[in-house]
Chain A
C-alpha cells in the first residue's frame, strides 16, 4: 500500500459521519442561533466597497495616527522641556550653568529676525537684560564678582554697540520715520537703563558711561540722517532731544549749586572751611557758571541748522557736569565725615 493510496482512502472516507463528515453547517448555525439568540441569516454574504473603504480608513488612520501621536508627544515633551529650560535660564547670570542657553536663545531670536529695525529693538531688549545681570552681579556676594562684573559690562556694551550698528543700517536705507521711531525706542530703553542704574548701590560708573555713549551715538545717527536728507521726523526728534538735554543740564546745574551751597553752610556752621575746600567749591561753580548762557547760544545755532555742533558741545558740557557732580559728592563725603560725632 502506497502513501497515495492511503491519502485516497482517507479522502474517500471524509464524508463519513463517524469522522465528522457530511457536516451540515447551516443546520449547525441554526442550532447556534436558537441557542444564543443570534440573527438567523445565512444568506450569501458579500462585502461592499464601503466595507473595504471603512476597513482601509481604519488601518490607514491607525498606521498614521499612532506614530503621529507618538511623534507629537515626543515633540511636546521636548518643546515643553526646552521652554521650561529657557524660562529658567532667563534668570541666570554670567557664570551660571544655564547662562549659555539664555544667550543661545537670544542668538536664535536674532537669526530669525528679518529687518535691522527689529534686530536693533531686540539688541536694546537684550542690553536691558545684560544691564540687569550687571546690577545683579554688583549686589551679589560671588567670589569672582569683579571678573563677572567685567563680563557683564562688556556684554552690555556689546549689545549697545549692536543697537547703534543696526540703527546705522536702518539709517543707510533712508527711512527717516523708521530711524526716528527706533531712536525714540532706544532713548526710552536708555531711560529705563538709567532708572535701573540709579537704584543700584554698587559701582556702576562704567555702565553709566556706556548708556550715555549709546544715547550720544543714537543722536549722532539721527543727525547724520538729517544732514543727508532733512525730514520733519528727524528734525522733530533732534529738537526734542535738544530740549531734553537742555532741561537735563539745567536741572543738574541747579542741583550742583544747591549741594555746593549746602556744603558751604555746613562748613561755616562747624568752622571747617579751609582755603583748599573754598577754592574747590569756587572752581566747580565757575566750571558750570555759564552753562545757561551756552544753552541760549546753542538754541540759535540749532535753529540755524548746526545740529552736530550743538550736540557735540552738549556732550562736552555733560562731561564737565559729571566731573562737577563727582567733586560735589567727594566734598559731601568729606563734610559728613568731619561733622559726624
Chain B
C-alpha cells in the first residue's frame, strides 16, 4: 500500500522525497544485479544512476502498479545499452564478456560464487540475489520475478543445489 501511495505522489506531484524512498527500497538489489552484469563498480554505479533516472521519467508520466519489475526491466535495458555502446566503441560484446570472465581469478569462495552466478540465467541470478543477499521474503522475490511463490521456491532450490555441486566439485 505504502509503495502505491509513493508512486501516486511521484506521478501526481513529482515528489522527489517519495522517489528517494523508492530508491532506498530498491537501489541495493539493483546495484547487486548491475554489479553482476557489468565489469566494474564504477560502471555499476553509473548504470544505477541511469536506471533510476529512467525510472523517474517513467513514473512521472505513467501509472505503474508495481515498481520492482519496472526497475529491473529498465536496468536490463541499461546493461544491454552499455555493451552495445562498448561494442561500437571497442570490441564485440562476446569478447568483452569473455575477457571479463577470464580476468576473474577463481580464488576463494567469493570468486567461486561470483562465477557460479555468472553462469546462471538471469532469473535464477536475480532470485538468489534478492533472497540471500537482500534478505527478501520468498513472496517478495516472487513478486519481482512475477511468478508464483511455489515456482520461485523451486528456482531458488535448484539454484542452491547447483551452487552446492560447484562447491563440492571445487573442494
Report A's interface with B, CB cutoff 8 A.
Answer: 1-3, 6-7, 9-11, 13-14, 16-21, 23, 25, 28-29, 31-32, 35-36, 38-39, 41-43, 45, 47, 51-52, 54-55, 58
Contacts and interface: CB of A to CB of B under 8 A. Distances in A.
B81 interface: no
B122 interface: no
Given A7-B160, A20-B35, A29 B45 contact: no
B99 interface: no
A25 B20 CA distance: 10
Contacts of A51: 5, 9
Contact of A29 (B27, B113, B164): B27
Interface in B1-29: 2, 4-6, 8-9, 12, 16-21, 23-24, 27-28
A41 B48 contact: no
The 3 lowest CB-CB distance pairs between A and B, nearest first, are A20-B32, A39-B16, A20-B35
B93 interface: no
Interface residues of B, number: 47
Contacts of A38: 16, 19-20
B113 A19 contact: yes
Given A25-B24, A42-B20, A20 B31 contact: yes
A3 B110 CA distance: 17
A227 to B, nearest CB: 79
A28 B110 contact: no
Contact of A36 (B2, B5, B49): B49
Given A21-B133, A39-B17, A1 B164 contact: yes
Contacts of A16: 110
A7 B132 contact: yes
B119 interface: no
A179 to B, nearest CB: 67
Nearest to A35: B49
